[in-house]
Structure 1
């Protein structure tokens, strides 16, 4: 498991925002040598956080997500802050969907003091931790188990989701495009998230700053389907306008 220092996390964020960045530009931005930047890029490329090129670095392919063990530590403090903020919006005795993702797993951790929750999830990590919470009932959705992250997807999962109507659907996402389109990498995971959105009275989206403008293959929906977005940094003015037009509440844990 890799732990990134502050410069490396910021470097990764720049690459996500700009798609491709040169070593020269990164060196000037951070005030360090080209050699230092190349070492940072090599380390993150080794852990599948970005793509290394001669003279620079780019985001990974739009068809493949970052490895699960790398996502567990990527922007971890930011995820914890926004998760804590989201958890404050959930009352006791609520019913919840929680989908696949390391950010939603942090939300599940932040709910440990709640009482009377009824949680329906296709994320075995979430189920494992929340089944020990006091007065918390956990329903695990059936389907095909993904080995890489213990997520459950497939047509059976979608059909089971459609049997419930819950107070809150808590979802994570891989990409929020500049026009408010939500995207992810696995079409089977997208189908389950679509069903969660449809079967939730309120949809709460948890997404750290690295998810904005990031490329991903499969369209999931639009911010207009989301009641509230929780992130960790103020968003650019143009993105604020898109969020406002979508009618989505914005919560920033900064």
Structure 2
């Protein structure tokens, strides 16, 4: 295992431990992992920047479950991981497919990775995805109606849900804000969640895109359960409880290099 992979595995364990206990001191974490307090402090700073934990004086606690980080920060956090995930998912999407693509910076990277495909039909509630895919003149794009969220180009609301309910797509490509250790899928906004649920209901297969920062990350509104998806695309092995659940359900896991 490389040093980078080892650091990420330790950070995943830190998130898991804090999720269970609510708060842990830097000293307790350093003792548990047999590393210096300075190493743990760097880990916690990274996790806080990625929105996975909150840093407090002397320790780490749960991240906010009611507020996502700003869109411009989400665009750059874990960008290389998101691009690797996007490449993996694009390789599993056949030409001449119909797709739902929802809101999120990882799904936007997936849209870029799909530009070399042929004859895709895409229904989306993400203005950024529609703009990216419009660069390929052979794609057919349906932009779901609804209320535009100015900060990130998301379109949500009952008109959006009704648009999704009018279609049955080959593949639904969705992002998520958090995956609980019990397999629950969570996001921060109810209107956004209702759109994601409509995509899950109306997709023959569901591809979930989630970099390692999403494992154990808290969010308020439940989308569903990880057993409802067909494949998980990520950049890190899921924590043991989630990995066991995926294996038992026979769900494909694709880990980008």
Normalised-by-shorter TM-score class? 0.7 to 0.9
Give structure 2 stretches of 5+ with no counterpart: none
Q: Deviations over 1:102-149 (max 9, x none)?
A: 111111111111011111110111111111114112111111111221
Q: Is the 8 A contact 1:21 1:57 kept in 2?
A: yes
Instruction: Please list, as runs of the form range in 1=range in 2, the aligned pairs for 1:8-19 lying within 5 A after superposition.
Output: 10=8, 16-19=15-18
For residues 233 and 171 of structure 1, the distance between their equivalents in structure 2, rounded to whole angstroms, comes to 18
Q: TM-score, normalised by structure 2?
A: 0.84
Runs of 4+ in 1 over 4 A off after TM superposition: 9-15, 25-36, 43-50
Question: What is the SS of the residue equivalent to 2:205?
Answer: strand
Question: What is the SS of the residue equivalent to 2:63?
Answer: coil
**CA displacement at 1:62 relative to structure 2:** 0.8
Q: Is the 8 A contact 2:26 2:40 kept in 1?
A: no
Let me know the Cα RMSD of the aligned residues: 2.8
Q: Is the 8 A contact 1:232 1:252 kept in 2?
A: yes
Instruction: Please list, as runs of the form range in 1=range in 2, the aligned pairs for 1:201-220 lying within 5 A after superposition.
Output: 201-220=204-223
For residues 71 and 170 of structure 2, the distance between their equivalents in structure 1, rounded to whole angstroms, comes to 28
Task: Give the structure 2 partner of residue 108 of structure 1.
Answer: 111
- Aligned equivalent of 1:240, options 234, 243, 246: 243
Q: Is the 8 A contact 1:15 1:21 kept in 2?
A: no
Question: Structure 1 residues 200, 30: CA separation in 2 closer, same or farther (over 3 Å shift)?
Answer: same
Question: What is the SS of the residue equivalent to 1:189?
Answer: helix
Q: Within the alignment, does 1:70 sit opposite 2:73 as a pair?
A: yes
Task: Give the structure 1 partner of residue 162 of structure 2.
Answer: 159
Q: Within the alignment, does 1:53 sit opposite 2:56 as a pair?
A: yes
**CA displacement at 1:67 relative to structure 2:** 1.6
Q: Deviations over 1:184-230 (max 9, x none)?
A: 11111000000001111111111111111111111111122111111
For residues 153 and 145 of structure 2, the distance between their equivalents in structure 1, rounded to whole angstroms, comes to 12
Aligned residues: 247
For residues 167 and 88 of structure 1, the distance between their equivalents in structure 2, rounded to whole angstroms, comes to 15
**Range with greater deviation from structure 2 (47-56 or 130-139):** 47-56
Question: Structure 1 residues 27, 178: CA separation in 2 closer, same or farther (over 3 Å shift)?
Answer: closer
For residues 224 and 52 of structure 2, the distance between their equivalents in structure 1, rounded to whole angstroms, comes to 25
For residues 107 and 132 of structure 1, the distance between their equivalents in structure 2, rounded to whole angstroms, comes to 14
- Aligned equivalent of 1:180, options 180, 183, 188: 183
Question: Structure 1 residues 215, 133: CA separation in 2 closer, same or farther (over 3 Å shift)?
Answer: same
**CA displacement at 1:181 relative to structure 2:** 1.5
- Aligned equivalent of 1:92, options 91, 95, 104: 95
For residues 118 and 81 of structure 2, the distance between their equivalents in structure 1, rounded to whole angstroms, comes to 25
**Range with greater deviation from structure 2 (56-65 or 143-152):** 56-65
Q: Deviations over 1:9-36 (max 9, x none)?
A: 9597565444345344677769677599
